[in-house]
Structure 1
Amino acid sequence: MSTGLADNIRKYRRTAGLSQEGLAESAGLSLSTVRKVEQGGDVRVETLHALARALGVSTSVLFATEAPRSVVGPQDDANRQHLVELRRALMPPIGLAAPLAADPVEPGGLDATRRKVRDARALYDQDRYSSVAKLLPPLLRGSEAAVNFLDGEEQEHAVIARCQVLLMTGQFLTQVRQYDLAYYALAEAIRLARESGQTLTAATGVVGMCWLLLRQDRFDECEQLAAQTAAEIEPRLSSASATHLAVWGELWLRVAASSVRNNRPDVATEARRMAATAASAMGREDMGFPDHWGGFGPATVEMKAIEDLSLTGDARGVLRRADEGPVSAHGLGNLGGVTPNNWNRHRLDVAKAYVASGEHQDAMGELMQIKQRAEGWITHQPMARYVMADILKTRKRTLTEEMRSMAAHLGVAG
C-alpha cells in the first residue's frame, strides 16, 4: 500500500531523474530498501536521511501526514498503568470552575525540593527509572502547592524550585518516550521561568524542548527554536558564567543535531563551530543540572561531532575518532567526564560503526558494556535495536548465546 511518504520519495526521485537503482546507489542503500520504501514499507529515519542527501532535499520535506497506526498490545497498556500517578500530578482533570479537587497537599520545603530534584537526577543517571517515576509525583504536587501557598520573595524561590521539578519531569518523560506528557512539563517550565524573569532557566527548558522536537523528527522547528534562543541569550565569552556558556552551547548542539538530520550540512558545521567555541571557553565538562540541561563541554561536543559521522554513514570516521582526543580515556580524565547518557549514546554510534564494518563481535562487546552500565536505558534506544537487528541480519555464522540474550533483552526477533 502506497503512503504519502512513499509518494514523496518517488516524486523527488523522478524529479532528480533517478531510477530506483540510481537512487539506491547514490544513497548507499540496497535496491530492495528503496523498493520497500516506495511501496509504503516501514523505514528508519536514518534511511530517510540517506535518501534526502541523495535527492538533494531536506529530510523534513519527505514526511507526509498520515493517520497513525493502531497502538495495541500489553506494552502500551502497561505504560498507561505505570504512569497514572505521574499523569495525575502533572495533568489534573480540569472542569468549568477549576481543576478537579484532589486531597490537600502540604507545600514542599524549598530546600527539600531542590535536594529531591538532585536525587531524581542521580537516580536518572543511574538508570533507575522506576525510582524516578515514583519520586516525581509528590514533587510535582508539593512544588505546585508551594507556589500557590507562598508569596513575595518566598514565592519567587518556589517558582524556581517548581521549574526545576518540571525540567526533571520533562527530561525523564522524553527519555522514556512519553512525548505528550514531556511537552506539557517542559512548556510549563519555560512559561514559569520566562514569567519570573529566569531567562537561563527558560532557555534550559528550550534545550529540553528541542530534544523533544528532535525525537519527534521535527527538524525544522528544532533548528529554528534553538537558533533563535541561542541568539537571544548569546553571552560575552570573556565574562560569562559556566552555566550561561553551557546553556548557549547546548542550544547550538540542538541546531547542529537537527540540521545534520535534515540534510543541511552547512548549518550543522557552523552550529558545531559555535558549540565548540562555548566548550573551549568553559575548558572542561560541566554536569550542572538543573542549572542547565546537564552535560556540556569539549568532550560532549566531540561526541556529538562523531554522531554526525554516524548519521552520514562514515563508519571509518566514527571508529577513527571514537577513542581519540577529548573522548579518549586520557582526554576524559582531564576534562572531567561526561554524562552517562551521552557516553552510552556515543558508544552506540561505535557499535553501529562496527556492524557496518562487519566486526560483529566488537559491536556485541559495545552493546554488552552498555547493558552492564545501563540495562534499562538501552531498552529505550531504537538505535540499539537497529544495531542488534543488523547483526542478526548480516551475521553469516551461528548466533552466539550472547547475541541471543541481547536480542531478547531488546525485543528484537531473530
Structure 2
Amino acid sequence: MTEIRALGDRVAQVRVRRSMTQTELAERAGVSTDLVTKLEQGQRDGIRISTLHSLARALDVPTATFFEVEQEETVSDNEAFIPLRKLLLPGPSSGQTDEPALSLQPLRQRLVALTQDYHYARYPQAVRTAPELIEDITAATGIHQEEDQKSIYRLLAHAYIMAASILIQLSGEDLACEAIRRSMEAAEQAGDPILRASGVVYYRWAFIRQGRFDDAEKVAVDMATEIEPSIMSATPEHLAVWGRLLTGASAAAARNNRPETAKDLLSYARSSAARVADGKMDYAKYWAAFGPSQVDAIEVENAMTQGDAPRALTLARRVRRTENMPLSNWTRHLLAVAEAQTATRDYASAIQTVQDVYTLTPEWLREQRLASRLIRDLLDATSVRRARKTGLADLATFVGIKP
C-alpha cells in the first residue's frame, strides 16, 4: 500500500502542477474520475501500466515520472535471504572445500541444477544453494590455470547472473545489481566481453522493476552501442547478446510511453534475430536464448503496455516457443496473452491461458504480480458458478487471493 500511496501522490502532484482538476485529467486520459480519485488517495490497487501511460500522455510527461526510485523495503530485510545477503554484502568465507568438488564438471552440474531451480520457480531451494555454489566456484578460480580458469570464471559469471535473476523475481533488485556487477567482473576475468555485456540485460530488468525506465533504456542502449557487431564477422552469440540488449531497451521505452523509440529499437533487434536463426545461438555457452520468437514475444508485451490488446492478440498468433526458449520467457508471454484476452473480454480464453501457465509451472505463477491481478479481474467478470466450474476459484486460492 505504501507504493500505491507514493504513486498516487506523484500523480496528484503532477496534475496540480498542470493546473488540472481530477475530472479534466480523467477526460483527457479516457478513464473514470473515480479511478483518478482513488489512485490519488492510495485506494486503487493493481493499477495497469497502460492506464499510467494514458495518464502520462494526458499530463504530457514520461510514465517514469510517476515512479519513485527509492524503496522503503528491500529483500535484504527478509531473513530468508540472509545467505545471499552475506555473500553479496559480503559475509564470512564458507571454509575450504575438497579440490575434487572444485573441478569444472561438478561445478557446472551444480550450476545446471541451480538454473533448473530458477526456471521452475523453486526459489527457496535456489536461495539456499546459490551462495555455497558461488563460494565454491570462486575458490576454484584459485586452483585452475589458463583455459580451465577462464571456464571457471565463465561459470562464476553465470552463477552471479542466476543469483541476480532469483533476487529480481523476489523483489530484491538492489542486491541483484550487486550480483550483476560481480557477474560482469567475472566475465572480464574470463576474457569474454560478450558475456560481460550480457550482464547489462539483467541491469535493465532490475531497473524496470524499480520503475527506472529511463535508466533501463539508457544502460541497454549504451552497451549495445559499445558492442555493436560487424555485419560480416559477428558470431551468433555476439548478435544474440546485442539483440537481447535492444529488445530490453525497447521494453523499457514502451513502458516509458515512448512507442516510436520502442518500435525502432525492436526493428534493429529483429534484424539481428533473423541472422541468429541461421546460426543458432549456443544456449549452453551463454545460458540465454534469442531469436525471432523472443522478439515477437516482446512486441506482444509492448502492444499490451501501450494498451492495444487487439493488436497484441494479432501479434501473438505468430509467436512460437523454440527449443531453447526458457520456460519463464514462454510463460511470461502467455500471461501477456491472457492480459490481452481479458482486456478484450474473452474471459474463457484468458482463464484457459492462465490454466496453461499453471500446468507448466505453478510455483512461477504464484510469484507473478500480473497473474494475481489478472485472476482478480477475471473473478470480477465471472460468476461464482463459472469460476468454480473453470477452476478459476482454485487458481485464486493457489495464488493467495482471498474472497
**Given that residues 123 and 129 in structure 1 are in contact (C-alpha distance below 8 angstroms), is that contact kept between their aligned partners in structure 2?**
yes
Shift in Å, 1:219: 0.8
Residue of structure 1 aligned with 2:25, choices 7, 23, 33:
23
> Where do 1:296-311 residues align within 5 Å?
296-311=290-305
Shift in Å, 1:65: 6.5
In 2, Cα distance between the equivalents of 1:290 and 1:53?
A: 43
**Given that residues 246 and 292 in structure 1 are in contact (C-alpha distance below 8 angstroms), is that contact kept between their aligned partners in structure 2?**
no
Q: CA distance change for structure 1 residues 166 and 289 in 2, over 3 Å: closer, same or farther?
A: farther
**Given that residues 164 and 290 in structure 1 are in contact (C-alpha distance below 8 angstroms), is that contact kept between their aligned partners in structure 2?**
no
Give the TM-score of the pair, scaled to structure 2.
0.87
Q: CA distance change for structure 1 residues 180 and 15 in 2, over 3 Å: closer, same or farther?
A: closer
Shift in Å, 1:122: 3.2
In 2, Cα distance between the equivalents of 1:403 and 1:396?
A: 10
Q: Which residue of 2 aligns with 1:400?
A: 387
Q: Which residue of 2 aligns with 1:266?
A: 260
Residue of structure 2 aligned with 1:63, choices 53, 62, 67:
67
Q: Which residue of 2 aligns with 1:351?
A: 338
Q: CA distance change for structure 1 residues 289 and 121 in 2, over 3 Å: closer, same or farther?
A: farther
Q: Which residue of 2 aligns with 1:97?
A: none
Q: CA distance change for structure 1 residues 30 and 284 in 2, over 3 Å: closer, same or farther?
A: farther
**Given that residues 4 and 66 in structure 1 are in contact (C-alpha distance below 8 angstroms), is that contact kept between their aligned partners in structure 2?**
no
Deviations 1:224-276 (A, max 9, x none): 10000000000013321111111000000111111111111221111111111
Structure 1: which amino acid aligns with 2:204? C
The answer to whether structure 1 residue 104 and structure 2 residue 126 are counterparts is no
Deviates more, 1:173-182 or 1:226-235: 173-182
Match of 2:286, SS state, is: coil
Q: CA distance change for structure 1 residues 357 and 124 in 2, over 3 Å: closer, same or farther?
A: same
Residue of structure 2 aligned with 1:411, choices 380, 388, 400:
400
Q: Gapped runs of 5+ residues in structure 2?
A: none
Shift in Å, 1:91: 4.3
The answer to whether structure 1 residue 312 and structure 2 residue 306 are counterparts is yes
Q: Which residue of 2 aligns with 1:51?
A: 55
Match of 1:272, SS state, is: helix
In 1, Cα distance between the equivalents of 2:202 and 2:71?
A: 27
Q: Which residue of 1 aligns with 2:41?
A: 39
In 1, Cα distance between the equivalents of 2:324 and 2:315?
A: 17
**Number of aligned positions between the proteins:** 395
Residue of structure 1 aligned with 2:195, choices 198, 201, 224:
201
Q: Which residue of 2 aligns with 1:363?
A: 350
Shift in Å, 1:363: 1.2
Q: Kindly report the root-mean-square deviation, in angstroms, between the aligned alpha carbons of the 2 structures.
A: 2.9
Q: Which residue of 1 aligns with 2:232?
A: 238
Q: CA distance change for structure 1 residues 397 and 115 in 2, over 3 Å: closer, same or farther?
A: closer
**Given that residues 180 and 199 in structure 2 are in contact (C-alpha distance below 8 angstroms), is that contact kept between their aligned partners in structure 1?**
yes
**Given that residues 118 and 162 in structure 2 are in contact (C-alpha distance below 8 angstroms), is that contact kept between their aligned partners in structure 1?**
no
Q: CA distance change for structure 1 residues 248 and 223 in 2, over 3 Å: closer, same or farther?
A: same
Give the TM-score of the pair, scaled to structure 1.
0.85
In 2, Cα distance between the equivalents of 1:67 and 1:304?
A: 27
Structure 1: which amino acid aligns with 2:398? H
Shift in Å, 1:109: 1.0
The answer to whether structure 1 residue 163 and structure 2 residue 150 are counterparts is no
Shift in Å, 1:336: 4.5
In 1, Cα distance between the equivalents of 2:6 and 2:158?
A: 41
Shift in Å, 1:147: 2.0
Shift in Å, 1:218: 1.2
Question: Percent identical across equivalent pairs?
Answer: 30
